[in-house]
């Protein structure tokens, strides 16, 4: 596994990370804890050093899984986690990035992860009621206190990124990005390039759709967020299959899988892009990591990009309420 640098502050990670959210949040049904721990440890064996979790994934249980799994690999891996929500009766109840909430979240994350310092701490979603300068300032203090190493933002807009970066240098922006979700190319990616901030694309496989393993007959379980996302209605899946077919054509040419081509495309965009595909299956983990060996020539990259742009994607990436919760 190769490595890449995220930002100009010294953070270096494996070129492909592992998104751990689906082990306990978002994509029910969830595997037994022991299986998730085994998968994370297998990822380490395969050279993955970058693991993504969050306080809200569960809530709390995901950090516990990641912490237990990586306990034998102390100081060998980079763990990214996130703050930014309030909870009522153990359930997420809106955004909250007040300084006191950030500090409380960090103390909880440190305990659940079993670490003395959080490698990368993201604001999970922008809280418009708290000035981003106050958020960045709080993280700056936590860095000076030795509880956090690097600062990140998730799904933040260009103006927010600039304001935060001026207060405390941002090492990474995490946002959705893939062959079918590219709206950040217009303003946000140029902004982080200008500022020397790395990019961590989540859902680089289109929440599983771009792998080709999901057709219009797929029934989503209760607790699977795709059941309410417009892009995953039966009608949309039928229409959006055209993009899967484009990817499949290139996969055949390169003797690769759809997932590997979709990830190779993301990796080829910029050397500062580190995708974090998620999976709960060991064979998918190895398949995804194999994308590092898929080299797309300039011509192939252009042809794949051009072909994908001829497809009109049906359905929004989020519901209106979910999109409103981002900082975009």
Q: How many whole angstroms separate alpha carbon 106 and alpha carbon 153?
A: 15
Rounded to the nearest angstrom, the gap between the alpha carbon of residue 100 and the centroid of all alpha carbons in its chain is: 26
User: 114 is written with which tokens?
Assistant: 């079993």
Rounded to the nearest angstrom, the gap between the alpha carbon of residue 15 and the centroid of all alpha carbons in its chain is: 13
Place of tokens 């509880």: 147
Torsion-angle region of residue 267: left (phi > 0), alpha (psi -120 to 50) or beta?
Answer: alpha
User: 100 is written with which tokens?
Assistant: 């006191």
Would you please indicate which residues are annotated as catalytic (active-site) residues?
57
Contacts of 298 (CB under 8 A, 6+ apart): none
DSSP percent split of the chain into helix, strand, coil, nearest 5: 45, 20, 35
Cα 84–89–93 angle (5° rounding)?
35
> 17: helix, coil or strand?
coil
Contact (CB, 8 A) for 110 and 122: no
Q: How many whole angstroms separate alpha carbon 326 and alpha carbon 37?
A: 30
- Helix 61-70 / helix 33-45 crossing angle, nearest 10 deg: 50
């Amino acid at each position: 596994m190769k490595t890449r640098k995220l930002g100009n502050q010294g953070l270096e990670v494996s070129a492909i990370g592992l998104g751990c959210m689906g082990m306990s949040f978002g994509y029910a049904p969830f595997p037994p804890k022991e299986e998730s721990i085994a998968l994370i440890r297998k990822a380490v064996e395969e050279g993955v050093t970058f693991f993504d979790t969050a306080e809200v994934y569960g809530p709390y249980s995901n950090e516990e899984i990641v912490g237990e799994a990586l306990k034998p690999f102390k100081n060998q891996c980079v763990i990214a986690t996130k703050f930014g929500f309030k909870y009522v009766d153990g359930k997420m109840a809106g955004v909250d990035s007040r300084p006191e909430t950030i500090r409380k979240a960090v103390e909880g994350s440190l305990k659940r992860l079993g670490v003395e310092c959080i490698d990368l701490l993201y604001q999970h979603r922008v809280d418009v009621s708290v000035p981003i300068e106050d958020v960045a300032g709080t993280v700056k203090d936590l860095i000076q206190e030795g509880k956090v190493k690097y600062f990140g933002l998730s799904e933040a807009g260009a103006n927010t990124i600039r304001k935060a970066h001026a207060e405390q240098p941002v090492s990474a922006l995490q946002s959705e990005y893939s062959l079918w979700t590219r709206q950040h190319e217009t303003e946000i990616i140029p902004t982080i390039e200008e500022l020397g901030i790395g990019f961590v694309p989540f859902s680089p496989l289109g929440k599983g759709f771009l792998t080709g393993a999901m057709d219009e007959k797929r029934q989503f379980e209760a607790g699977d967020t795709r059941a309410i996302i417009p892009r995953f209605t039966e009608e949309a899946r039928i229409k959006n299959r055209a993009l899967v077919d484009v990817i499949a054509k290139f996969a055949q040419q390169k003797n690769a899988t759809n997932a590997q081509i979709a990830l190779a495309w993301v990796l080829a965009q910029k050397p500062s892009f580190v995708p974090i595909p998620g999976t709960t299956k060991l064979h998918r983990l190895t398949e995804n990591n194999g994308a590092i060996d898929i080299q797309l020539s300039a011509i192939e990259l252009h042809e794949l990009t051009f072909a994908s742009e001829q497809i009109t994607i049906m359905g929004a990436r989020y519901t209106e309420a979910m999109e409103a919760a981002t900082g975009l």
